[in-house]
Structure 1
């Protein structure tokens, strides 16, 4: 079974974070949560309400953290998931996040991004020439990073699987699990 690193932080979207953790564990994989420190991160709940031009945000659950970014040896893991929410806005500037994410892209290992998750590889110039989904208002950011934006629930580009946000998680999860299984069979 695979060891999958979940890269997150405070203000990560609750469903974007917890759904992959539970789905991976349900399938017998090990899901290891990493964040700036080992204290539990404070998740948020994003929702789409009538009469509101943007998503709304409410406090969510806390997610236990297994490992701080600085303690991650990427060679110990088979895949990476970057949930959305506001966490990608600030974790993308962390040098350890850069080290971790560059490793997975450099080795062609499975990487899953959800909602705002593509902000991390975009900031590291790792999306150039790739095809990705993201939260739709990030289309310009994705394209400015050199990627092709696709408004879809389960966009697969090699070993990278992306989606627009938590409403896409069933399709994203199915696609990510297939990529993960293919990668583990060939390893």
Structure 2
């Protein structure tokens, strides 16, 4: 069962957490439309590569250019046609959550109980949309306090795992990519 998915993008989202689900979900038969406020189809956003190299937090390097295949303003009028939402991690969720249209989009998926996949810093968008109150969600550990302060329950998962609660699939980082995508696909095809 092919589903139409919306991916919310922004400059310096994490490279793996963007490229891998974009390709993998299409390989599973889904249509993924990647958009960014202020950019059109065919334009690019810059990604960053986060790595775990033994320091207290991840290191950050410039990643690839990621080509968008949708127009942000157009999807605002087509939200009912989308079956699910994907929010990659990295730096982008820290600032795209400040855009009222991003919150409107996110609330649409929350209120209609459509499957949502968030990873790393992606849950910050759900926090800003008021979508985690009384809900469980994993995230990059530095975002755990945000989940908790928003009324949610931060779930710590180990590397190579993800967490599912209702219509939300969450994970702390790209080391959890396989179960995160598998669990999201299961939700989409229920």
TM normalised by structure 1 equals 0.94
Contact 2:93-2:121 within 8 A present in 1 as well: yes
| Alpha-carbon offset, residue 31 of structure 1 | 0.8
**Uncovered stretches (5+) of structure 2, i.e. residues with no partner:** none
Q: Classify the secondary structure of the residue corresponding to 1:66.
A: coil
Whole-angstrom distance in 2 between the partners of 1:168 and 1:87: 19
After superposition, the C-alpha distances for 1:94-149 in whole angstroms (9 at most, x for unaligned) are 11111111100010000000110000010111110110000012111110011111
Contact 1:46-1:56 within 8 A present in 2 as well: yes
Contact 1:98-1:124 within 8 A present in 2 as well: yes
Contact 1:69-1:97 within 8 A present in 2 as well: no
Name 1:168's counterpart in structure 2. Answer: 176
| Alpha-carbon offset, residue 163 of structure 1 | 0.3
Name 1:25's counterpart in structure 2. Answer: 26
Whole-angstrom distance in 1 between the partners of 2:178 and 2:130: 28
2:46 is equivalent to residue 42 of structure 1: yes
Q: Classify the secondary structure of the residue corresponding to 2:13.
A: coil
TM normalised by structure 2 equals 0.93
Whole-angstrom distance in 1 between the partners of 2:101 and 2:68: 16
Contact 2:15-2:64 within 8 A present in 1 as well: yes
Contact 1:69-1:96 within 8 A present in 2 as well: no
Contact 2:103-2:128 within 8 A present in 1 as well: no
Whole-angstrom distance in 2 between the partners of 1:63 and 1:160: 25
**Uncovered stretches (5+) of structure 1, i.e. residues with no partner:** 183-187
Name 2:92's counterpart in structure 1. Answer: 87
Whole-angstrom distance in 2 between the partners of 1:125 and 1:95: 13
Contact 1:70-1:96 within 8 A present in 2 as well: no
Whole-angstrom distance in 2 between the partners of 1:93 and 1:71: 19
User: Pairwise mapping of residues 1-16 of structure 1 onto structure 2 (< 5 A)?
Assistant: 1-16=2-17
List structure 1 runs of 4+ shifted beyond 4 angstroms. none
Contact 1:33-1:67 within 8 A present in 2 as well: yes
Question: Aligned-residue CA RMSD in angstroms?
Answer: 0.9
